[in-house]
C-alpha cells in the first residue's frame, strides 16, 4: 500500500517518455529545416510550425514538461535583462508617457476592431473584445474566464490566430524590411549570440542564486509571466549596478527558443471551435489590422525619438514579451527598450484593462436586467 503512489508516479513518467521524445524530435526537425532555409527565428518558429503540423496530421498526444517551458523563459528573460544599462534606464523613464499613450491607443484600436468583428460574426461583444485585445494568449484566456459573457473558447481561438499572425509577420518585417540596408541599432547593445565571456564559477553561482531568488519571489507574489520577469529584473539590476554578469553561451539561446516554440505549438488547437472556419478570416484580418496600426505608431515613435524603425516596431508590435525579445536579439535592436515597452503593455493590460472591462460589461448586464424587468 505504501508503494502504490510511487508505482503510479513511475508508470506515469514511463508513459510520458515516448510522447516527450516524439515532441523533442519534431521540434528539432522543425528548427533544423527553418535554419536550413534561413527563415526568421528558425529555432522558435520552426518547432512551432512542426509541432502544429504534426498534431494536425497525426492527431497524436504530445508532451512537453512545464519545467522546460519555464526554463526557456528564464533563459530568455536573463538574456534580455543583460541589455539594460544606466543610459537605457534613463531613456526608458523619459519615454514613460509615450508608453502609456501608445498602449492606450493600441487597446482602443482593438476595441474598435472588436465591435466590427462582433457585428459581422455574431459573437458577443465581451468575447470579441477579449479576442482582439493585444495581450498575451494565456493572459487573455484567463482574464476571459473572469469577464461576464465572454466565451473562453472563442477568445482562445481568436487570440491564437492573432498570435500566429503577429509572430510570423513581425519578425519577417523586422528582418527583411527594416533591418536590411545596413540598419544599425540606435545605440550599442550586448551581442548575446557572439559573446564569449561566461564569467567565473563564483560569478555564475552568485548570479544563479540571485536569479532563482527573485524569480521565486515573482512566482510567489503571482507576477504576470514570472518566469521571464524574474530573471529579466535580476540581470537588469545586476548589470545597471555594475556587477559583472556572465553571458549565456549561444547554445542556451537556441535551447530557449526551442522550448518556447514547442510550448507555443502545443498550446494551439485549431479544432477547438465548431464554427472556426467562419471566424478564421475575421481573426486573421483583425490581426493584420493591429499589426498595421502598430506600424503607423512605430513610425511616429521613430520620428520623435532617436531609435530605429526596427526597435520602434518591436516596441509596439502586439506580440508577447518572449517573442519580441527574441526578434530584437536577432535583428540587433535595442533589446532593453523593446522589453520596457512590452512589459509596460503587459502590466497595463493585466491591471488596468480588467478594471475597465469589468465595469463596462458589468454595467451592460445591469442594463439588460433592468430592460427585462420593464
Q: Output the domain CATH number for residue 149.
A: 1.20.1530
Question: Which SS3 state, helix, strand or coil, does residue 246 take?
Answer: coil
Mean pLDDT of the 146-153 span: 76
For the ranges 149-158, 248-257, 277-286, which has the lowest average pLDDT?
Answer: 149-158
User: Which of 276 and 207 is assigned the larger pLDDT?
Assistant: 207
**Which domain does 66 fall in, by range?**
4-373
Domain total in the chain: 1
Identify the band that residue 14 occupies on the pLDDT scale cut at 50, 70 and 90.
low
Question: Could you tell me the pLDDT band of residue 7, with boundaries at 50, 70 and 90?
Answer: low
Report the C-alpha gap between 248 and 81 in whole angstroms: 12
pLDDT tens, position by position, 338-359: 988 988 887 787 778 777 777 7
Lowest mean pLDDT among 10-24, 40-54, 62-76, 80-94: 10-24
Higher pLDDT, 346 or 259: 259
Cell digits for 272?
A: 477547438
The DSSP 8-state label assigned to residue 176 in this structure reads I
Q: Which of 53, 41, 343 is nearest to 172 (CA)?
A: 41
- Given a contact cutoff of 8 angstroms between Cβ atoms, the answer to whether 146 and 354 are in contact is yes
The model's pTM is: 0.74
Q: Concatenated DSSP letters for 97-157? A: HHHHHHHHHHHHHHHHHHHHHHHHH---HHHHHHHHSSS-HHHHHHHHTTSTT--HHHHHH
Mean pLDDT computed over 19-39:
93
- In whole numbers, what is the pLDDT of the chain averaged over residues? 80
pLDDT in tens, 269-310: 766 666 677 788 888 999 899 999 999 999 999 999 989 999
Instruction: Give the confidence band of 326 by pLDDT, cuts at 50, 70, 90.
Output: confident
Write phi, then psi, for 242 (nearest 5 degrees): 95, 5
Read off the pLDDT of residues 81-123 as tens digits, 9 standing for 90 and up: 888 888 888 888 889 999 999 999 998 999 999 999 989 888 8
Kindly report which listed range (33-47, 184-198, 284-298) carries the lowest average pLDDT score: 184-198
Q: Write out the three cell numbers for 88.
A: 537605457
The pLDDT of residue 163 is above 70: yes
Of the ranges 125-129, 190-194, 222-226, which one carries the lowest mean pLDDT score? 190-194
What pLDDT sits at residue 209?
93
Q: Give the per-residue pLDDT at 366.
A: 41
Per-residue confidence (pLDDT) for residue 162, from 0 to 100: 84
Q: Tell me the helix, strand and coil percentages in the chain, rounded to 5.
A: 75, 0, 25
What average pLDDT does this structure show over 164-169? Answer: 84
360: CB partners within 8 A, 6+ apart: none
In this structure, what C-alpha cell is assigned to residue 84?
539594460
Helix axes 152-172, 137-144, angle to 10 degrees: 160
Is the predicted pLDDT of residue 361 greater than 60, yes or no?
A: yes
Of 91 and 49, the structure prediction assigns the larger pLDDT to 49
Q: Rounded mean pLDDT of 27-49? A: 90
Reduced to 3 states (helix: H, G, I; strand: E, B; else coil), residue 374 is coil
Rounded to the nearest 5 degrees, what angle is found at the Cα of 302, between the Cα atoms of 301 and 308? 135
Helix (H) or strand (E) holding 62: none
Would you say residue 362 has pLDDT above 70?
no
The per-residue pLDDT for 367 is 38
Amino acid at each position: 500500500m505504501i508503494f502504490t503512489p510511487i508505482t503510479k508516479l513511475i508508470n506515469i513518467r514511463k508513459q510520458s517518455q515516448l510522447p516527450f521524445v516524439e515532441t523533442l524530435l519534431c521540434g528539432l526537425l522543425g528548427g533544423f529545416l527553418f535554419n536550413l532555409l534561413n527563415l526568421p527565428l528558425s529555432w522558435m518558429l520552426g518547432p512551432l510550425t512542426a509541432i502544429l503540423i504534426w498534431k494536425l496530421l497525426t492527431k497524436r498526444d504530445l508532451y512537453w514538461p512545464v519545467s522546460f517551458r519555464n526554463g526557456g523563459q528564464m533563459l530568455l528573460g536573463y538574456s534580455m535583462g543583460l541589455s539594460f544599462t544606466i543610459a537605457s534606464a534613463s531613456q526608458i523613464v523619459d519615454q514613460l508617457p509615450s508608453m502609456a499613450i501608445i498602449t492606450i491607443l493600441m487597446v482602443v484600436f482593438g476595441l474598435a476592431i472588436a465591435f466590427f468583428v462582433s457585428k459581422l460574426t455574431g459573437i458577443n461583444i465581451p468575447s470579441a473584445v477579449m479576442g482582439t485585445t493585444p495581450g498575451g494568449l494565456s493572459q487573455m484566456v484567463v482574464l476571459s474566464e473572469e469577464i461576464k459573457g465572454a466565451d473562453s473558447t472563442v477568445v482562445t481561438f481568436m487570440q491564437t490566430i492573432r498570435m500566429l499572425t503577429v509572430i510570423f509577420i513581425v519578425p519577417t518585417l523586422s528582418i527583411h524590411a527594416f533591418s536590411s540596408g545596413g540598419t544599425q541599432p540606435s545605440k550599442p547593445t550586448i551581442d548575446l549570440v557572439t559573446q564569449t565571456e561566461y564569467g567565473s564559477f563564483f560569478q555564475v553561482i552568485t548570479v544563479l542564486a540571485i536569479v532563482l531568488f527573485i524569480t521565486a519571489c515573482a512566482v510567489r507574489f503571482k507576477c504576470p509571466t514570472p518566469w521571464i520577469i524574474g530573471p529579466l529584473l535580476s540581470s537588469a539590476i545586476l548589470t545597471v549596478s555594475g556587477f559583472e554578469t556572465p553571458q549565456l553561451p549561444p547554445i542556451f539561446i537556441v535551447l530557449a527558443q526551442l522550448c518556447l516554440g514547442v510550448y507555443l505549438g502545443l498550446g494551439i488547437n485549431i479544432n477547438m471551435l465548431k464554427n472556426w472556419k467562419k471566424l478564421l478570416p475575421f481573426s486573421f484580418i483583425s490581426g493584420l489590422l493591429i499589426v498595421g496600426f502598430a506600424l503607423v505608431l512605430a513610425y511616429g515613435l521613430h520620428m520623435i525619438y532617436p531609435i530605429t524603425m526596427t526597435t520602434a516596431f518591436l516596441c509596439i508590435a502586439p506580440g508577447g514579451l518572449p517573442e519580441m525579445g527574441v526578434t530584437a536579439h536577432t535583428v540587433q535592436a535595442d533589446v532593453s527598450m523593446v522589453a520596457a515597452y512590452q512589459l509596460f503593455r503587459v502590466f497595463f493590460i493585466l491591471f488596468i484593462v480588467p478594471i475597465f472591462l469589468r465595469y463596462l460589461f458589468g454595467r451592460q448586464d445591469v442594463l439588460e436586467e433592468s430592460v427585462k424587468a420593464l
